Amino acid sequence: MKPSDSAPPPWRGNAESAPRVNDLFDIICPSNVSSNLNEFKVYKYKIFYIIITLLDVVVIITGNSQSYHAYIKNHPVVKVKDIRRTYEEVKLGDLKHHVFVYQLYKDNKTYRAFCAGSIITDARVLTSAHCFLTNKKRERRKINKVKVVAGILYTIAYESNSDEVQQWRSVWNIYTQRFFRHPAFNLAVLEVEVPWTFNNYVNKIPYTEWDQDFDGVCSGTAVKIMQSWSLNKSLVVKDMMLVNKANCEYKLKRSCINFYCTKHEKSHVMSLETEGGGLVCHGTGDPAETEAGVLVGVTSLVSSKLLTLHNRIGLFHDWVADACPRVTPESYFLLAVIVHIL
């Protein structure tokens, strides 16, 4: 009598009738069934991928934790220079590094901002991955309808062909961190198709080389409603009071090792258009800092009832510096060896 698929194996409870190892292998991957053999090969690839991924997770978590705690042990919290700019309206040229990221609206003429960012090189912008991807890394919006604009102060705009003040750029590519799960690992680098033209209205800002803890007030961006009846908003600078990591973790009930925490005003900072904007500090002692300050974090919106989280840049400085890994001949050779073995 042939047992059904749902019935237990005939050798269960009977050691003498149990198959040998070779018999078990034939059951899993019969030599006379090529489809099963192909499935077994697929399983080998999946197992290999899972092992490599788990090793990556262990190395990254362990490395980040050890380096962070070793740094904190030997370096005190840095008191930043207090430059108060309470809800100060921005004029052209004040925040040369700041960009708005726009999406083409339904009428195919109007662009509306949905995110912000900071220019860090002549062709790259540092922003939030959550603006573009879901936690499953699926696109939130079509990239061909997205424009990155520098030298602009308003959240609703029409495309300009001149680079004298506003500079409109299309996105060539987006680089995100491998373990992105909002708000963790939320850094993203946008590469624009045409490099920026630096002038009196547009320029890059240095980003931090060190991972430090700060105390005091830094500057962030917010938006202000222009008229009570208008949908358009204008860019303003907002003071961000830093909250120490212990208090932040207590209030959020989560690890904040990858974040800076700041107090905010719900009506201003938590606007959609401020996500991805930069947290800029002065007097940090960082070698990259200039008169404009240094970019230390990227705003990641979580909840209007909680603290504002800013993803640390210094902790991932090397990734930000080269978010697009370049494939070397040695990498091709190693990949060929792995494929050959499998």
Same domain for 47 and 105: no
Same domain as 188, residue 58: no
- Are 292 and 145 found together in one domain? yes
Predicted confidence (pLDDT) per residue in 70-128, tens digit:
545 555 688 787 776 666 678 999 999 999 999 988 777 899 999 999 999 999 999 99
Beta-carbon contacts of 71 under 8 Å, excluding residues fewer than 6 positions away, are: 211, 212
Strands (E), 203-293: 214-215, 217-225, 233-243, 259-262, 278-281
Mean pLDDT of 265-273: 61
Token duo for residue 282: 């002065």
Q: Is the pLDDT of residue 49 over 50?
A: yes
d(CA 186, CA 320): 12
Mean pLDDT of 243-264: 87
Q: Is the domain of 299 the same as that of 281?
A: yes
Residue 37 sits in the same domain as residue 151: no
User: What was the pLDDT predicted at 60?
Assistant: 53
In a domain, 333, yes or no: no
Residue 19 in this model has a pLDDT that exceeds 60: no
pLDDT at 58 > cutoff 90: no
Domain shared by 167 and 315, yes or no: yes
Under the banding of pLDDT at 50, 70 and 90, the label for residue 301 is: confident
Whether residue 316 sits in one domain with residue 186: yes
Structural domain includes residue 1: no
Domain region containing 127: 78-321
Same domain (yes/no): 179, 301:
yes
Is residue 41 located within the same domain as residue 184? no
- Residue 317 and residue 172 share a domain: yes
* 131 inside domain: yes
Give me the pLDDT at residue 175, please. Answer: 94
**What does the DSSP assignment read for 84-141?**
--TTEEP-TTTSTTEEEEEEE-TTSSEEEEEEEEEE-SSSEEEEEGGGTB-TT--BSS
C-alpha span between 208 and 205 (Å, rounded)? 10
Domain identity same for 84 and 36: no
Query: Is 23 contained in some domain?
Result: yes
Q: Is 3 within the bounds of a domain?
A: no
341 lies in some domain:
no
Distance (Å, whole) CA 91 – CA 166: 13
Q: Which two tokens stand for residue 4?
A: 């059904």
Q: What is the C-alpha separation between 72 and 63, in angstroms, rounded?
A: 14
User: What is the C-alpha separation between 57 and 168, in angstroms, rounded?
Assistant: 38
Cα–Cα dist 247/32, whole Å: 64
Residue 302 inside a domain? The answer is yes
CATH number at residue 247: 2.40.10.10
Specify the amino acid at residue 39: E
What domain count does the chain have? 2
- Tokens 């019935």 locate to 7
Residues 51 and 92 in one domain: no
Torsion of CA 339, 185, 131, 135, to 10 degrees: 60
Of the chain, the percentage scoring pLDDT greater than 90 comes to 40
Q: Which amino acid appears at position 118 of this protein?
A: S
pTM, entire model: 0.72
pLDDT at 45 exceeding the cut of 80: no
Domain boundary among 30, 49, 74: 74
pLDDT-derived band of residue 320, with 50, 70 and 90 as boundaries?
A: very high
The answer to whether residue 146 is domain-embedded is yes
